[in-house]
């Protein structure tokens, strides 16, 4: 079956270091990807998105890289801070041009822990 998954369920980094969270997808038809941050007890918060016609997009302290050849997505967080501790998960949309977001599929997430 098709899936959106994450390479590691947990990731610990030192405060101030850069974090890299990975996501694999298997559907080559996916054309839109989103990264979310979810803090304990809260709803997912949009971080950054990228369309399949791009291979890199930057936001504030975050960069998303898309490698369509190997169907891999990564989220890089620069100078990780304690407030970055959360679950991060990716989502893929298989056909965002169809007018339906029904095709959105979510990964199960990676728990990022920032160590002092």
Partner 1 sequence: DVKVTQSSRYLVKRTGEKVFLECVQDMDHENMFWYRQDPGLGLRLIYFSYDVKMKEKGDIPEGYSVSREKKERFSLILESASTNQTSMYLCASSWARLSSGNTIYFGEGSWLTVV
Binding residues (CB under 8 A) for partner 1: these are 32, 34, 36, 41-46, 49-51, 57, 89, 91, 93, 96-97, 99-102, 104, 106-109
Q: Which is nearer to partner 1, 103 or 113 (CB)?
A: 103
Edge-first strand listing for the sheet containing 62-67: 4-5, 19-25, 72-77, 62-67, 56-58
Q: Cβ of residue 110: shortest distance to partner 1, in angstroms? A: 12
Q: How far is the CB of 14 from partner 1 (least distance, A)?
A: 27
**Alpha carbons 96 and 109: distance in angstroms, whole number:** 22
Our CB check for partner 1 shows the closer of 102 and 116 to be: 102
- Specify the residue, 80 or 93, whose C-beta has the smaller distance to partner 1: 93
Using the minimum distance from each CB to partner 1, give the nearer residue, 13 or 104. Answer: 104
- What is Dmax (Cα atoms) for the chain? 46
Supply the minimum distance, in Å, between the C-beta of residue 113 and partner 1.
17
What is the per-residue DSSP string for 66-116? EETTTTEEEEEESS--GGG-EEEEEEEES-GGGT-GGGEEE---EEEEEE-
Please, are residues 94 and 103 in contact by the beta-carbon 8 Å criterion? yes
Shortest distance (Å) from residue 89 CB to partner 1: 7
């Amino acid at each position: 079956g098709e899936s959106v998954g994450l390479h590691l369920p947990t990731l610990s980094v030192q405060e101030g270091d850069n974090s890299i969270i990975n996501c694999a997808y298997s559907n080559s038809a996916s054309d839109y990807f989103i990264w979310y941050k979810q803090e304990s007890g809260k709803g997912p918060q949009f971080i950054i998105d990228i369309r399949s016609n791009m291979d890199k997009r930057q936001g504030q302290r975050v960069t998303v890289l898309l490698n369509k050849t190997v169907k891999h997505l990564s989220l890089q967080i620069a100078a990780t801070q304690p407030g970055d501790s959360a679950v991060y998960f990716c989502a893929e949309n298989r056909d965002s041009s169809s007018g339906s977001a029904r095709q959105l599929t979510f990964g199960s997430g990676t728990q990022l822990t920032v160590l002092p």
